[in-house]
């Protein structure tokens, strides 16, 4: 008889909760008393990955800091859909200033808390800054790099949906190659975003050699919560980059949001890893390897690749990028992985 | 409120904004019919009892199981488990070992002496059950649960029907059979052994309000085979029945079994265990046409039984000592039917055992008006009632699918119909929910886990003894096996919907209470339904 692991749970830790697990082994999201930092009634689109990712991340941060948390938010969907004056969905202290300065605002708050603590006022309150990919990789990048370089005690969370979604899906430096936006080539031999440009900010953050950098997706809740919790246990500058599918900007069905994030990870399009002081420490291995078509085909922003004659060469280039990620981050499926 | 400089409105919560009004489709929780349940002839709620086994509450699991089937330790051994054939897990790795967990639960119950939950208040009605095979036992059990007095009349000196006088010990140890029957008697089922019913209408006059017939099919079918020495030709049913007597049947060194069903296999394996050097099955057609189950054929071959395919016996008891038979080779015609080839072979055989099926003995029903008998089988309606009001029937006598499991299912269904009939109503089964097909599920969430193998007894031991061939699971691997169940179509409280809703529109009601949608805020995105592992959420169009 083959040897069986004694501990086996129907769904292991893939699901949000699991009635067979001890309560302390369940996710923050499984808890009936979770903060619901981003509450119901927000105006995000149906199936918004950003709204989901933000609640996942901030609930985990609230849980990790004993609810002593302040958030600074860049302009973008997350801010606009959550806080149309005078209403807000946030159930935590939260501030919005400008599109490009969230990192600097958070730095200021962290400094103020530090001073207050030195004066013996107030407890140990922690700070997160958050923004979209536009607010992070483009307009807010200077402030962010400064925050890293000064090693300010802030966790910066970027919700990457691959474009300026709030203003109608314009290209950002995080828009992937070949994806169509309102500001990329609509027609011609190679419509959509160009190859070879753009930035992968997690790698740039690592180059700053800050204590902690991680990527995550809304498809792996346990991993996301683990990383936010770990980040809140560290002092200094930390950065988490979360892939959050946008049904509107990607042209995907509202019910496929998590599925799309899962496909991004399983195809190798989006590497999920964590790094300390510039070194990759662990990766989330691929569980069921898939070709990139599986990820591209359901998205209308890639529809031009699957016309009457499929853009084989372009798809192959995207596959090559995914393969490179798999090589570089060692994402190959392995037995008994994560 | 004193507002700060330049602030004109009080801060408010977005809860004022009922985003549920955006919805065009709505999610709803459903309980779908798992394919295992749908495939179980005894109508077990397999997913339901596995749910309790998953958490290690075996007693609760057993109680949930016996709501439908009072014989789990028996079923866990002899059932051909069509449930596993339906199990969705086969599309992932391999089917859940439902049957082995069932046996584990049955054995646990026997070990710990678990008792059935109390029956309903006595109705004062008495029902006669004829035959103590699985059909009769199941009917009596369910009637008792419903508060009726069930009285079994059994012709044989011991209860169990073909489970005792057919199925060999190496597949069903008699202690297991005895324990489960005793539990039924302790529960209040009345059993009269060595009480043959010869005239149903006469017996009914002993104060019975209805009758359930479960007399099985015990008369061996014969094929005409000219035989010099007829003593050498036996039938399978009497050989197997003889195994329960003091002296085992004498079959000789070289035994030839004629037939291709499970009974043929059982007789051949029994002959081997009785010391036959050669035990040979002669069958008219090919292996893929054989009615016996593949795993049984496999086990028989492993034990050294040989099978002569495409062969018929044309003469037996030949030669001086009468121990030769003539076998003719057959060939399949274009329709797949065996046709004689004119090619003969003479074989030595100390005995020939015919295993060609059985007919029901319906003589006890001779003068019951209204009964319809077709091709030796009694006709029944959807509620298991024969053409004569108040006379119900099930098991081998009433169907072509002759298994213990079908018999148990018949007994249950008949009990429900009798219960309705006693109240002057007509039995109407509840409509079945839609099937929990694999394409409605999200298999991503299930851990990878191959089926636990049941330890198979050492091959040498099982050739010479009547010890049980298949071993059982122990605590750890039974739990493992139960947890391989994906809970198809029925919420198992994994919290996924509660977690994945971007709008917090799922309310968690707490352990055992499942969830509820908050339609004030649900925008109808459908993520919950897509990410529900087991397919317990459906999306329906909103009426405007
Ligand atoms: C060798 C063999 C192996 C089998 N193996 C399996 C197996 O592994 N799995 C499986 O699912 N099925 C198996 N079967 C089939 C299974 O045993 C039968 O389908 C099942 O027992 C039928 O149940 P029943 O209650 O209808 O009839 P039976 O089990 O035949 O019981 C009928 C009972 O009625 C009694 N009776 C008959 N007439 C009268 C009367 N006039 N008055 C009073 N009592 C009467 C009989 O004595 C008997 O006890 C096997 C059958 C055989 C022959
Ligand atoms: C300085 C400045 N420029 C432009 C805008 C308009 N604007 C508001 S949100 C937004 C896009 C935000 O994109 P991103 O940061 O990716 O967040 P998303 O909406 O995609 O979540 C833009 C361009 C602004 N508010 N401020
Ligand atoms: S546009 Fe995209 S990011 Fe913005 S609310 Fe809609 S789904 Fe979310
Ligand atoms: S996985 Fe479980 S519920 Fe689904 S068919 Fe198999 S045993 Fe039944
Ligand atoms: Mg964006």
Q: What is the pLDDT of residues B177-226, one digit of tens each?
A: 999 999 999 999 999 999 999 999 999 999 999 999 999 999 998 888 88
pLDDT above 50 for B410:
yes
* A19 in any annotated domain: no
Q: How far, in Å, is the centroid of ligand 4 from the Cα of B486? A: 6
Q: Which of A134, A137, A301 should be mutated for ligand 2, with most atoms under 8 A from CB?
A: A134
Residues B57 and B177 grouped into a single domain:
no
Residues B189 and B259 grouped into a single domain:
no
Burial of B304 (0-12, 13-18, 19+ CB in 10 A): middle
Q: Which of B133, B297, B406 should be mutated for ligand 1, with most atoms under 8 A from CB?
A: B133
Contact A39 B455 (CB under 8 A): no
* A300 in any annotated domain: yes
Residue B470 pLDDT:
84
* A71 in any annotated domain: yes
Task: pLDDT band for B256, please (50, 70, 90 cuts).
Answer: very high
pLDDT above 60 for A6:
no
Nearest by CB to A89, which of B14, B498, B501? B14
pLDDT above 70 for B484:
yes
What is the CATH number for B350?
Answer: 3.50.50.60
Nearest residue to A297 via CA among A286, A310, A309: A310
* B320 in any annotated domain: yes
* B440 in any annotated domain: no
Q: Which of B31, B35, B52, B442 should be mutated for ligand 4, with most atoms under 8 A from CB?
A: B35
Nearest CA to ligand 3 atom 8: A48
Taking a C-beta distance cutoff of 8 angstroms, is the pair B170, B462 a contact? yes
Which atom of ligand 2 is closest in space to residue A165's alpha carbon?
Answer: 20
Owning domain of residue A317: 31-329
A175 touches chain B (CB under 8 A): no
What is the DSSP annotation of A24-79? GGS-GGG-TT---SB-TT--PPTT-HHHHHHHHHHHHHHHHTTT-EEEEE-SSHHH
Task: pLDDT band for B156, please (50, 70, 90 cuts).
Answer: very high
- Note if the pTM is more than 0.90: yes
Give the C-alpha separation, A304 to A192, whole Å: 9
Owning domain of residue B460: 36-114+445-482
Q: Which ligand is nearest to the CA of A141?
A: 2
Residues B110 and B211 grouped into a single domain:
no
What is the average pLDDT across B79-91? 96
* A24 in any annotated domain: no
Residues B365 and B346 grouped into a single domain:
no
The residue length of chain A stands at: 338
Residue B276 pLDDT:
92
Q: How many CB atoms lie within 10 A of CB B461?
A: 10
* B428 in any annotated domain: no
Tell me which of B364-373, B400-409, B463-472 is least confident: B463-472
What is the average pLDDT across B55-60? 96
Residue B460 pLDDT:
59
Q: How far, in Å, is the centroid of ligand 3 from the Cα of A91? A: 20
**Distance between B286 CA and the closest CA of chain A, angstroms:** 33
- In chain B, which residue's Cα lies nearest the Cα of A222? B499
Task: pLDDT band for B544, please (50, 70, 90 cuts).
Answer: low
Q: What is the mean pLDDT of chain B?
A: 93
* B439 in any annotated domain: no
* B119 in any annotated domain: no
Q: Give which of A5, A90, A255, A266 to mutate to test B binding, by max B Cβ within 10 Å.
A: A255
Residues B227 and B350 grouped into a single domain:
yes
* A18 in any annotated domain: no
Residues B366 and B347 grouped into a single domain:
no
What is the average pLDDT across B457-471? 71
* B511 in any annotated domain: yes
pLDDT above 60 for A4:
no
**Distance between B23 CA and the closest CA of chain A, angstroms:** 9
pLDDT above 60 for B135:
yes
Residues B240 and B340 grouped into a single domain:
yes
Tell me the pLDDT tens digit for each residue of A77-100.
999 999 998 999 999 999 999 999
* A15 in any annotated domain: no
What is the average pLDDT across A3-21? 76
Cα–Cα distances (Å) from B147 to B141, B183, B187, B383, in that order, read 10, 17, 11, 19
Tell me the pLDDT tens digit for each residue of A191-232.
999 999 999 999 999 999 999 999 999 999 999 999 999 999
Nearest CA to ligand 2 atom 8: A76
Task: Please give the radius of gyration of chain A, using alpha carbons only, rounded to the nearest integer.
Answer: 20
Residues B19 and B42 grouped into a single domain:
no
What is the CATH number for A237?
Answer: 3.40.50.970
Nearest residue to B177 via CA among B108, B117, B274, B110: B110
Which atom of ligand 3 is closest in space to residue A169's alpha carbon?
Answer: 1
What is the CATH number for B55?
Answer: 1.10.1060.10
- How many domains does one find in chain A? 1
* B437 in any annotated domain: no
Q: Is B45 in the pocket of ligand 1 (CB under 6 A)?
A: no
- How many domains does one find in chain B? 4
Residue B16 structure tokens = 């004022």
Residues B508 and B454 grouped into a single domain:
no
Identify whether A86 is preceded by a cis peptide bond (ω within 30 of 0).
Answer: yes
Q: What is the mean pLDDT of chain A?
A: 95
Tell me the pLDDT tens digit for each residue of A286-330.
999 999 999 999 999 999 999 999 999 999 999 999 999 999 999
Tell me which of A141-150, A203-212, B441-450, B483-492 is least confident: B441-450
What is the average pLDDT across B259-285? 94
What is the CATH number for B502?
Answer: 3.30.70.20
Residues B206 and B255 grouped into a single domain:
no
Give the C-alpha separation, B515 to B511, whole Å: 10
Residues B296 and B406 grouped into a single domain:
no
Residues B416 and B322 grouped into a single domain:
no
* B334 in any annotated domain: yes
Residue A5 pLDDT:
41
Q: Give which of A41, A95, A298 to mutate to test B binding, by max B Cβ within 10 Å.
A: A41
* A320 in any annotated domain: yes
* A9 in any annotated domain: no
**pLDDT above 90 coverage of chain A, percent:** 90
């Amino acid at each position: 008889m083959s040897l069986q692991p004694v501990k086996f749970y129907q769904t292991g830790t893939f699901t949000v909760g699991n009635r067979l697990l001890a309560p302390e082994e369940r996710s923050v999201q499984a808890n009936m008393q979770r903060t619901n930092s981003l509450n119901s009634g927000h105006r995000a689109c149906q199936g918004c990955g950003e709204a989901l990712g933000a609640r996942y991340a901030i609930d985990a941060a609230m849980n990790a800091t004993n609810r002593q948390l302040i958030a600074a938010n860049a302009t973008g969907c997350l801010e606009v859909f959550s806080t149309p004056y005078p209403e807000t969905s946030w159930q935590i202290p939260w501030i919005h200033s400008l599109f490009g300065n969230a990192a600097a605002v958070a730095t200021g708050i962290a400094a103020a808390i530090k001073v207050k603590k030195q004066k013996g006022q107030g407890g140990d309150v922690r700070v997160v800054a958050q923004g979209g990919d536009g607010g992070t990789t483009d307009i807010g990048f200077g402030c962010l790099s400064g925050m890293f370089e000064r090693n300010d005690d802030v966790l910066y969370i970027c919700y990457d949906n691959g474009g300026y979604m709030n203003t109608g899906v314009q290209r950002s430096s995080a828009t992937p190659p070949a994806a169509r936006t309102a500001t990329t080539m609509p027609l011609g031999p190679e419509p959509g975003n160009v190859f070879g440009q753009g930035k992968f900010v997690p790698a740039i953050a690592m180059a700053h050699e800050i204590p902690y950098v991680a990527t995550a997706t809304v498809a792996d809740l346990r991993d996301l919560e683990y990383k936010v919790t770990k980040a809140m246990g560290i002092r200094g500058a930390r950065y988490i980059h979360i892939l959050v599918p946008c049904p509107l900007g990607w042209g995907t069905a509202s019910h496929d949001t998590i599925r799309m994030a899962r496909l991004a990870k399983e195809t190798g399009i989006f590497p999920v890893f964590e790094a300390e002081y510039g070194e990759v420490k662990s990766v989330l291995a691929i569980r069921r390897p898939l070709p990139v078509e599986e990820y591209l085909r359901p998205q209308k922003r890639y529809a031009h690749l699957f016309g009457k004659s499929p853009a084989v060469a372009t798809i192959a280039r995207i596959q090559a990028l995914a393969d490179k990620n798999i090589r570089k981050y060692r994402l190959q499926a392995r037995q008994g992985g994560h | 409120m004193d507002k700060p400089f330049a602030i004109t409105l009080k801060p408010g919560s977005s809860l004022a904004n009922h985003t549920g009004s955006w919805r065009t489709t709505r999610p709803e929780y459903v309980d779908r019919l798992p394919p295992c349940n749908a495939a179980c002839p005894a109508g077990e709620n397999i997913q339901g009892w596995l749910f309790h086994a998953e958490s290690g509450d075996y007693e609760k699991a057993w109680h949930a199981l016996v709501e439908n089937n009072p014989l789990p330790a028996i079923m866990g051994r002899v059932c051909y488990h069509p449930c596993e054939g339906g199990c969705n897990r086969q599309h992932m790795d391999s089917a859940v070992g439902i049957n082995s967990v069932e046996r584990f639960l049955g054995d646990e119950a026997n070990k710990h002496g678990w008792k059935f939950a109390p029956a309903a208040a006595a109705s004062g009605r008495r029902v006669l059950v004829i035959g103590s095979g699985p059909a009769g036992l199941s009917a009596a059990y369910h009637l008792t649960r419903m508060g009726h007095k069930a009285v079994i009349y059994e012709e044989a000196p011991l209860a169990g029907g073909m489970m005792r006088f057919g199925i060999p010990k190496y597949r069903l140890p008699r202690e297991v059979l005895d324990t489960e029957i005793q539990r039924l008697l302790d529960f209040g089922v009345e059993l009269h052994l060595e009480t043959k019913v010869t005239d149903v209408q006469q017996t009914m006059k002993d104060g019975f309000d209805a009758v359930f017939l479960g007399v099985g099919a015990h008369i061996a079918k014969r094929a005409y085979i000219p035989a010099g020495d007829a003593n050498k030709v036996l039938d399978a049913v009497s050989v197997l029945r003889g195994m329960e007597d003091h002296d085992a049947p004498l079959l000789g060194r070289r035994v030839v079994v004629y037939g291709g069903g499970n009974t043929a296999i059982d007789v051949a394996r029994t002959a081997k265990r009785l010391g036959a050097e050669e035990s040979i099955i002669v069958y008219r057609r090919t292996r893929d046409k054989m009615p016996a189950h593949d795993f049984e054929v496999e086990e028989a071959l492993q034990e050294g039984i040989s099978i002569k395919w495409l062969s018929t016996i044309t003469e037996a008891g030949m030669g001086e000592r009468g121990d030769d038979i003539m076998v003719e080779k057959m060939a399949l015609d274009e329709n797949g039917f065996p046709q004689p080839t004119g090619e003969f072979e003479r074989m030595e055989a100390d005995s020939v055992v015919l295993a060609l099926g059985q007919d029901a003995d319906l003589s006890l029903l001779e003068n019951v008006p209204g009964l319809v008998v077709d091709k030796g089988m009694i006709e029944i309606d959807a509620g298991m009632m024969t053409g004569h009001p108040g006379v119900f029937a099930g098991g081998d006598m009433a169907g072509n699918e002759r298994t213990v499991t079908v018999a148990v299912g018949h007994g249950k269904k008949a009990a429900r119909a009798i219960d309705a009939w006693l109240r002057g109503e007509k039995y109407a089964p509840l409509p079945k929910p839609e099937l929990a097909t694999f394409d409605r599920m999200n298999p991503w969430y299930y851990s990878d886990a191959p089926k636990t193998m049941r330890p198979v007894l050492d091959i040498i031991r099982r050739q010479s003894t009547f010890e049980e061939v298949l071993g059982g699971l122990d605590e750890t691997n039974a739990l493992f096996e139960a947890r391989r169940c994906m809970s198809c179509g029925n919420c198992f409280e994994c919290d996924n919907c509660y977690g994945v809703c971007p709008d917090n529109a799922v309310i968690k009601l707490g352990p055992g209470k499942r969830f509820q949608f908050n339609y004030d805020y649900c925008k109808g995105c459908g993520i919950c339904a897509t990410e529900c592992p087991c397919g317990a959420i459906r999306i329906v169009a909103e009426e405007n």
